[in-house]
Amino acid sequence: MSEARDPFQGRGIVYFGNDWHAENRTSSHHVAIRLARRAPLLYVSSPGMRAPSASGRDLRRMLRKLAATLRPPTRIEGDLWHCTVPQLPFRRIPGVDRLNRWFGRWAVRRAARKAGIRQCISWFVVPHPGFLAGRLGEDLCVYYCIDDYAAHPGVDADLIGARDEALSRRADLLFVAPPALLESKRALNANTEFSPHGVDLALFARAADANAPVAAGAAGLPRPIVGYFGSLHEWIDLELIEWLARQRPQFSFLLIGHEAVDCSALRALPNVHLPGAQPYPELPDWARAFDAAIIPYRLNRQVANANPLKLREYLATGKPVVSVRNAEIEKFAKWVRIADNRAAFLTALDAAVLDQSPQACASRIAAVADQSWDRRVDDVVERVARELARRSSQES
């Protein structure tokens, strides 16, 4: 097999991502799927960064992960395998951290063997299992940093920050998606590369097909329709959405995603519709109903350092976009209306719902046409292959 067809020279990938079964498809999933087309890949669902609560949802997830640990890895498709390696969440209790290290190493190496992976590259998309970096017999360690993890709500910021820094220093190659984190990461690791998010262009461009039907749950809603998809979490400015909905009662606000926080104030409004999380491949059918899409983040540290995946997905639908400001979003200011306060957001939204020309739609799609996930992963794979080749030449 040629190096082009076998860029990792016979090695498999042990890939540490967030929960494979999470409600949202994240860059963790998109990258893993495409890497598995190039080499056998074991996707390790890593424990959440926050301690589990007593909620039924968290308890069900914890029990599911504990049960999954006892099972061998399962094949998702082709050379893509999945396993779960939960960790005890009580990390500050003496001995727990050591037990997690021992058990994690044993369980991952066991799962990799069962997936047919003997030589491997370790690939981390989350920092908290980073204590396994260099402990799996891997030939190369990659850290693909996609967020400011310590800024997430509900996490142990000191612990996650320390794990993130340690993994950033330890990685042989460090890829960084948020532009705001690039310089601080380069100060920790000279082998740092900027690798922004991609987009499934073919999937989301389907939303621009006016002849296809919209999702059943969006059919018949009064227009204009203001749309959002993604989790409704702590970093979403629900108060802004509520204010907008009250200011424009003739608009329909269609918010698609898992409700991770109390949305009762929104649900009480007659022009706000919350259909819940929807299958990822069906999102374009919902977006086809949008007259405008919104990114209503709270302006906090997490958002300041974010590279929002939905930005490119929205643009790929061709729909007008109104957003708050951060460094990555500003790069698309030609195609996105950026607002710095409530009044400006409302003014931009009024303009966006009228911006429906075919030329404007085509321009927004063209803005991300060269940023597919396939291309992003090709670039990353090429860099990893060069590093492997460099190391091989040094050893020979």
What's the CATH code of the domain at 220? 3.40.50.2000
Chain CA centroid to CA 91, Å:
25
Other Cβ atoms within 10 Å of 210 Cβ, number:
9
The whole-angstrom separation of Cα 72 and Cα 263 is: 39
CB 52 within 8 A of CB 160: no
CB 321 within 8 A of CB 311: yes
Does some domain include residue 1? no
The whole-angstrom separation of Cα 69 and Cα 152 is: 26
Other Cβ atoms within 10 Å of 168 Cβ, number:
23
Closest CA to 14 of 104, 112, 101: 112
In a shared domain, residues 192 and 226: no
Other Cβ atoms within 10 Å of 50 Cβ, number:
14
3-class DSSP state of 48: coil
pLDDT in tens, 108-152: 999 999 999 999 999 999 998 999 999 999 999 999 999 998 888
Residues 6+ apart with CB under 8 A from 2: none
3-class DSSP state of 242: helix
Q: What is the pLDDT of residue 23?
A: 74
Q: What is the pLDDT of residue 61?
A: 57
pLDDT in tens, 85-97: 866 555 556 666 7
The whole-angstrom separation of Cα 187 and Cα 53 is: 36
In a shared domain, residues 49 and 172: yes
In a shared domain, residues 215 and 133: no
C-alpha separations of 314 from 28, 125, 164, 263, 317 in Å: 19, 23, 30, 23, 5
In a shared domain, residues 169 and 210: no
Q: What is the pLDDT of residue 317?
A: 98
Whether the full predicted model's pTM is greater than 0.75, yes or no, is: yes
Burial class (CB within 10 angstroms; exposed 0-12, middle 13-18, buried 19+) of 25: middle
| Domain of residue 244, residue span | 201-367
Q: What is the pLDDT of residue 169?
A: 98
Chain CA centroid to CA 206, Å:
21
Does some domain include residue 3? no
In a shared domain, residues 155 and 229: no
Q: What is the pLDDT of residue 66?
A: 59
In a shared domain, residues 314 and 256: yes
Q: How many domains does the chain have?
A: 2
In a shared domain, residues 228 and 323: yes
Q: What is the pLDDT of residue 48?
A: 58
The sign of the dihedral angle between the CA atoms of 27, 49, 51, 90 is positive
DSSP string, 282-303: GHHHHHTT-SEEEE-B--SHHH
In a shared domain, residues 387 and 327: no
Assign 3-class secondary structure to 76-133: EECCEEEEECCCCCCCCCCCHHHHHHHHHHHHHHHHHHHCCCCCEEEEECCCCCHHHC
Token representation of residue 346: 């409302």
| Residues of the chain predicted below pLDDT 50 | 1-4, 52-55
In a shared domain, residues 214 and 345: yes
Does some domain include residue 7? no
